Chain A
Amino acid sequence: MEASWWKSSKFWLMWVGYIIAVAAWYASVKWLPLDSFNRLPDPWSVITEWFSPEPVYGVSIFTPIYYQHIFYSVYRATASFVLAVVLGVPLGILMAWSPKFDAYASALVGLLRPIPPLAWIPLAILMFPGIELAVIYVTFLVAFFATVMNTYVGVKSIDPDYFRAALSLGSKPRDILRHVIIPGALPNIFTGLQIAMGAAWFSLAAGEMIAAQYGLGFMIFESYNLIQFPTIVIGMATLGIAGFMSSAIIRVVGNKLMRWRVQSFGIGG
């Protein structure tokens, strides 16, 4: 990136977008003649609460409990995501590579994938000792399926000539896996990981609302029950930042691994 990124119009347009969104928020809370909207916290009260050393409702950047919630959510999202990648990428490759295995697995995946993660929660609580594993399991599931499907599509979309060329050059199956399948599927795998990470946060927050003691999802729902409205918005905004940052990390790692795409086409994952 150039040194004068702050001079680019893109950077300023980004801020214009934020300002419009916050203004619309302020306007709808303050000026909309609807009681239900007027109950909501306005931007200013959220900001003052968020950055206050002595927050009215007990959660701000100065309170340890805020970081405890963040820690739990990040820990669960990361654990689920890592598990999804470690299991999902090999499964996707195996399904795309072996027609036999594909026949076994794709019917099962096709049936399990559409089940909404929240529908798993009761079973997950029964299956696992402790709520922690249940929440991780439910979060893992969505990320896992997104990873499997995109890896599968990624391998299937590799030009068959690359396989033939590799065979013609004397490759063994191991070489094909390492030099054709993995690099060839990597762009799609990383698209899948972005989707998986988003899906993980989505179902994590939902899971935490139903079954957890800590975490941002729990914090949001508890604040709702306790009528601590600014804290709800703090939790939501923190989830947004966490999701954005995790996507950015995946993108950076992807661009490191796929230098050829960045150099050849100027595109990053």
Chain B
Amino acid sequence: MEIEPGDFVAIVGPSGCGKSTLMNIIAGFDNVTEGQVLLDGQPLATATTPPKPGSDRVVVFQNGALFPWKTVLENVMYGPVIQNMMTPSQAEERAMDLLAKCGGLNKVAASYPPQLSSGMQRRVEIVRALINEPKILLLDEPFRAMDTVSKTVMHQHLLEMYRVCRKTIVFITHDLEEAIYLADRVVVMTSRPGTIKSIINVKLPRPRTPNMMLSAEYLALKAQAIAGVHEEAKKAFERGEREHA
């Protein structure tokens, strides 16, 4: 599988299919046992080289990992400052600029993360990743714990951020609708062994709006994806999986 620069790729599959493992491998947290991951033709992770996380592939975590002991601004400035990419004052300027662009988050720059709503925290975390100019943004089920309404709002925020920065995004989720709505390509994974079952190309135009979820094209893609995932889910369920996508 190849991901082009600027692609928005969603990876879906039943729990236990290795979505998160794949992400941990790309991020450099876990070892590869077989095969390899290449970034711009350079091996990132292979079976022989130990994994190495780096700011070219920043992760946004399922449960959120903003440092609660740093303010929003300090969190966002953290990456570029410790990598000596920017001086603190440059980083502050850039951080405030990005925060402002991403839905007026500059207003909460002086707050500590636990004071914000979970949606805001997630957006700040995405900004904290974006400021490093990563080649890939890895989002590990970032909206998993949210209710449907907040989720829809967050989708619009994420699409807006994507429109502004045009980064390569790898989005892990178990929510099919979310995957089709957001991504250019949806990768459906099979469970045990975790391999790619199918790749669905989403040709919905951008910018995407919630109305598109009612379009014939969207529904056709959804039907196609559901068929694939359902088959997988059934297999997984029969294997005794309690939780499935």
Asked if A179 meets B67 with Cβ closer than 8 Å, knowing A167-B53, A169-B55, A263-B115, the reply is yes
Q: Which residue of A lies closest to B59 (CB)?
A: A168
How many A residues face the partner with a CB closer than 8 A?
Answer: 24
Residues of chain A with a CB closer than 8 A to B71's CB = 260
In contact, A162 and B67 (Cβ under 8 angstroms)? yes
Chain A residues whose C-beta falls within 8 Å of the C-beta of B111 in the assembled complex: 263
Q: Count the B residues whose beta carbon is within 8 Å of the partner chain — how many?
A: 31
Residues of chain B with a CB closer than 8 A to A159's CB: 63, 65
* Least distance between B62 CB and chain A CB atoms (Å): 8
Residue numbers in A under 8 Å from B115 (CB-CB): 263-264
Q: Is the CB of B67 within 8 A of A180?
A: yes
CA distance A261 to B68 in the complex (A): 8
Chain B residues numbered 27-81 whose CB sits less than 8 Å from any CB in chain A: 27-29, 53-55, 57-59, 61, 63-71, 78-79
A164 with B53, Cβ < 8 A, contacts A170-B132, A179-B78 known:
yes
Residue of A at shortest CB range from B27? Answer: A168
Residues of chain A from 147 to 179 with CB closer than 8 A to chain B in the complex? 159, 161-162, 164-172, 175, 179
Q: Which residues of B contact A260 (CB under 8 A)?
A: 68-71, 112, 114
Q: How far is the CB of A170 from chain B (nearest CB, A)?
A: 4
Contact flag A169-B58 (CB < 8 Å), given A164-B53, A179-B78, A264-B115:
yes
Q: Are A164 and B59 neighbours in the complex by a CB distance under 8 Å?
A: yes
B114 to A264, Cβ gap below 8 A? yes
- Report the bound CA distance from A186 to B29 in whole Å: 26
User: When A162-B65, A258-B69, A263-B112 are in contact, do A168 and B78 touch as well, CB less than 8 Å?
Assistant: no
B39 to chain A, nearest CB (A): 14
Which of A168, A175, A186 sits near B58, CB closer than 8 Å?
A168
Quick check: is B220 within 8 A (CB to CB) of the other chain? no
Q: Is the CB of A165 within 8 A of B69?
A: no
The main secondary structure of chain B at its interface with chain A is: loop
In whole angstroms, what is the CA distance A183 to B29 when docked?
A: 23
For A264, what are the chain B residues with a Cβ–Cβ distance below 8 Å? Answer: 68, 112-115
Within residues 64 to 110 of chain B, which ones have a CB less than 8 A from any CB in chain A?
64-71, 78-79, 82-83
| Cα of A172 to Cα of B57 in the assembled complex, Å | 16
- Can you identify 10 A-B contacts, CB atoms within 8 angstroms? A164-B53, A164-B61, A167-B28, A168-B129, A169-B58, A170-B79, A170-B83, A175-B82, A260-B68, A260-B69
Q: Which residues of B approach A to under 8 Å, CB–CB? A: 27-29, 53-55, 57-59, 61, 63-71, 78-79, 82-83, 111-115, 128-129, 132
- Leading 3 A-B pairs by shortest Cβ distance: A170-B55, A264-B114, A165-B65
Given A165-B65, A168-B59, A168-B129, output 6 extra A-B contacts at Cβ < 8 Å: A161-B63, A161-B65, A166-B67, A169-B82, A264-B68, A264-B112
Residue ranges of A at the interface with B (Cβ–Cβ < 8 Å): 159, 161-162, 164-172, 175, 179-180, 183-184, 186, 258, 260-261, 263-265
